């Protein structure tokens, strides 16, 4: 459809069997969808699952997500066995199936949890999409060319499902380049299963380093291929470090949420300076441009995750008016790349119907942060020591999420800080949608609306003149409940600082052990903070990464070494 939006699969139904018009092949054997997929894919991994213990992490990679049959069957088996560990499932798909075809699958095979998949099934945007199927089942669904996506993946996979169409009809995924990337991402002893018995496939897998054997196939197929990566397979134990988050604003709150989801022992410290406390509502919408560059794919993925099953997110829609003809032409071209139910441009106004706002104050307050200023953080050789007036705390991991505040460890200045004004007012004509631009106006909470803007480096104290400037052309009652100054911390390249903290002064700047940074969220912090927090959590406990390698490098703090922030 466009360089942002992938072409959906062209599917023809023949009774209970889905047929791909693009590849001239069926998605599953006629009348045998569940039994065939179970035999070829979920049964072969049961011997590995028998070795799992509580807190083990099991990672599956699938080439060819299709209708999600293999994922749903695997997730259901995981739930039935009541594992206390964590299942991570990464799937790649270049031609996403439409929601309409998924709905039909649910009618054809009603025992599958299709409704649950549909509830959070993403639009066919190129990039990564996160779906939580349970508190311990995570699907990372990557809509992209398989080879490009595999090259950009950071993971250690326990088992592979190779489920593309016939090798003769889909040569792009049945080749040594694909298999070499799968081998790179495999743990020692990782398994691979596929319905194919093609000699070309067998040779390509062998050349990529897999040990290939044949097993009994399903139905009329006498054989199927089963392979292992070289080495002994051992279950991966989920790492459970003791973590301290310094900073209880938006970044800290989402970090706390991601870590506690995994039952990680987490402390969060609040020095009373978190600006997210002062702004009760923040806009959530993606940053887009005409060209589909990595930063805009990241913003789309972040926007999707910010709104995913988030009790603090309110989907009201966001509307704004471009300032001049140049901007209007730009947004007209951007809107043409997306479906109208995601981005619409009408009568000179840009409308994001699925965007909205975050109840940032409520999110921050639920962390139950410790009211304590951390004076210094130092590495003792095997753990981190946090020093404060009441003594000290020892932890395995420290995450600096203190926004514009001075870090308690030696670090260069990496963010530019700009003050902005936020008011809580009673509007005579409140809006039901977020209206944003130079000034942002939010729907009311308990009859009070947030109005924010007026970013000025010289804004140190609030005067009536500042309030009048912000409220220009906005009708309010006489009541202004509160007026606060918030700080926007932004990097030079307008991307967050997200990742491991390097040893700044050493050659090649190796990463410090157990020290991470999430800062510089800028004007789109309510959009990007949740995905950034998920990624840092992946790093800490060594899960497959929610971000591709290229995006990890774009966000890592060490990108500014040798150049000004």
- The gap from C-alpha 134 to its chain's centroid, in whole angstroms, comes to 16
pLDDT in tens, 506-522: 878 899 999 999 999 99
- 3-state helix/strand/coil string of 344-387: EEECCEEEECCCEEECHHHHHHCCCCEECCCCEEEECCCCEEEE
Report the distance separating Cα 85 and Cα 82, nearest Å: 9
Residues 322-355: tens digit of each pLDDT: 989 999 999 999 999 999 999 999 989 999 999 9
Long-range (24+ apart) CB contacts under 8 A made by 560-563 are: 560/412, 560/414, 560/491, 560/492, 561/502, 561/504, 561/509
Residue, of 275 and 243, whose pLDDT is higher: 243
Ranges 19-28, 37-46, 180-189, 478-487: which has the least confidence: 478-487
| DSSP structure class, residue 448 | B
pLDDT tens sequence across 546-564:
999 999 999 999 998 876 5
User: Looking at the predicted structure, is the pLDDT value of residue 87 above 50?
Assistant: yes
CATH 3.40.50.150 fits 11-237, yes or no: yes
Q: Residue 276: is its pLDDT beyond 70?
A: no
pLDDT at residue 499, rounded to an integer: 97
- What is 416-490's CATH number, 1.20.120, 3.30.160, 3.90.1210, 3.30.70? 3.30.70
Rounded mean pLDDT, 161-175: 93
**Cβ-contact 218, 40 below 8 angstroms:** yes
**pLDDT value at residue 237:** 83
- Give the SS3 label for residue 411: coil
In this prediction, residue 1 carries a pLDDT of: 47
Name 357's bridge partners: 283, 314
- CATH 3.30.200.210, domain 243-276+362-414+492-560, yes or no: no
Burial of 259-288, coded b for 16+ CB within 10 Å and e otherwise, reads: beebebebbbbbbebbbbbbbbbbbbbbbb
User: How much is the pLDDT for 478?
Assistant: 56
pLDDT in tens, 106-134: 999 999 999 999 999 999 999 999 999 99
For the CA atoms of 358, 360, 362, 364, the dihedral, rounded to the nearest 10 degrees, stands at 140
Which has the higher per-residue pLDDT, 296 or 463? 296
Mean pLDDT of the chain: 92
CA-CA distance, 462 to 456, in Å (whole number)? 11
| pLDDT mean over 380-401 | 94
* Dihedral, CA of residue 298, residue 303, residue 305 and residue 308, to nearest 10: -160
Sequence ranges of the domains in the chain: 11-237, 243-276+362-414+492-560, 318-353, 416-490
Greater confidence (505 vs 172) lies with 172
**Least confident piece of the model among 9-23, 211-225, 302-316, 324-338:** 211-225
Among candidates 322, 325, 357, which has minimal Cα distance to 525? 357
The distance of Cα 45 from the centroid of its chain, to the nearest Å, equals 27
Q: Which helix (H) or strand (E) element contains residue 184?
A: helix 176-185
Please tell me the predicted confidence (pLDDT) of residue 476: 66
The DSSP annotation for 304-346 comes to HHHHTT-TTEE---EEE--SSHHHHHHHHHHHTTS-TTT-EEE
Residue percentage of the chain with pLDDT more than 70: 96
Is residue 565 predicted with pLDDT exceeding 50? Answer: no
């Amino acid at each position: 459809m466009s360089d942002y939006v992938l072409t959906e699969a062209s599917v023809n139904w023949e009774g209970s069997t889905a047929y791909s018009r693009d590849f001239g092949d069926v998605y599953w054997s006629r009348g045998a969808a569940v039994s065939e997929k179970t035999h070829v894919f979920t049964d072969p991994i049961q011997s590995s699952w028998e070795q799992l213990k509580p807190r083990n992490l099991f990672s599956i990679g699938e080439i060819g997500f299709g209708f999600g049959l293999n994922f749903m069957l695997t997730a259901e088996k995981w739930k039935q066995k009541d594992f206390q560990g964590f299942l991570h499932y990464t799937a790649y798909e270049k031609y996403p199936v439409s929601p309409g075809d998924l709905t039909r699958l649910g009618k054809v095979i009603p025992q599958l949890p299709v409704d649950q998949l549909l509830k959070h099934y993403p639009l066919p945007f190129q990039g990564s999409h996160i779906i939580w199927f349970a508190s311990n089942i995570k699907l990372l669904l990557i809509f992209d060319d398989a080879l490009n996506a595999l090259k950009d993946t950071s993971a250690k996979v326990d088992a592979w499902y190779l489920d593309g169409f016939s090798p003769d009809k889909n040569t792009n995924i049945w080749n040594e380049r694909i298999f070499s990337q799968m081998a790179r991402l495999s743990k020692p002893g990782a398994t691979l299963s596929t319905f194919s018995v093609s000699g070309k496939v067998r040779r390509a897998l062998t050349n990529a380093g897999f040990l290939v054997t044949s097993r009994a196939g399903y139905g009329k197929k006498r054989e199927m291929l089963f392979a292992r990566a070289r080495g002994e397979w051992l279950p991966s134990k989920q790492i459970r470090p003791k973590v301290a988050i310094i900073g209880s604003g938006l970044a800290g709150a989402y970090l706390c949420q991601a870590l506690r989801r995994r039952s990680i022992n987490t402390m969060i410290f609040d020095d009373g300076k978190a600006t997210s406390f002062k702004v009760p509502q923040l806009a959530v919408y993606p940053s887009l441009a005409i060209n589909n560059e990595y930063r805009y794919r990241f913003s789309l993925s972040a926007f999707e995750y910010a709104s995913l099953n988030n009790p603090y997110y309110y989907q009201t829609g966001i509307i704004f008016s471009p300032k001049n003809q140049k901007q209007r032409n730009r947004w007209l071209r951007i809107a043409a790349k997306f479906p109208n139910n995601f981005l619409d441009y009408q009568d000179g106004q840009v409308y994001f119907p699925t965007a909205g706002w975050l109840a940032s104050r409520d999110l921050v307050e639920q962390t139950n942060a410790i009211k304590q200023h951390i004076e210094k953080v130092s590495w003792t050789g095997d753990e981190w020591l946090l020093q404060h007036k009441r003594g000290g705390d020892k932890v395995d991991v420290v995450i600096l999420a203190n926004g514009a505040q001075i870090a308690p460890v030696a670090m260069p200045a990496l963010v530019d800080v700009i003050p902005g004004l936020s008011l809580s007012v009673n509007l005579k004509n409140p809006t039901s949608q977020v209206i944003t631009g130079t000034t942002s106006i939010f729907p009311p909470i308990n009859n009070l609306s947030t109005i924010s803007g007026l970013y000025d480096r010289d804004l140190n104290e609030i005067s009536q003149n500042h309030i009048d400037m912000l409220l220009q052309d906005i009708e309010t009652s006489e009541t202004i409940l509160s007026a606060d100054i918030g700080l926007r911390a932004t990097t030079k390249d307008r991307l967050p600082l997200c990742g491991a903290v390097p040893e700044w002064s050493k050659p090649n700047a190796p990463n410090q052990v157990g020290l991470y940074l999430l800062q510089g969220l800028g004007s789109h912090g309510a959009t990007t903070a949740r995905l950034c927090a998920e990624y840092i959590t992946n790093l800490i406990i060594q899960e497959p990464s929610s971000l591709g390698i290229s995006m990890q490098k774009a966000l890592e703090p060490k990108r500014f070494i040798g150049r000004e922030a």
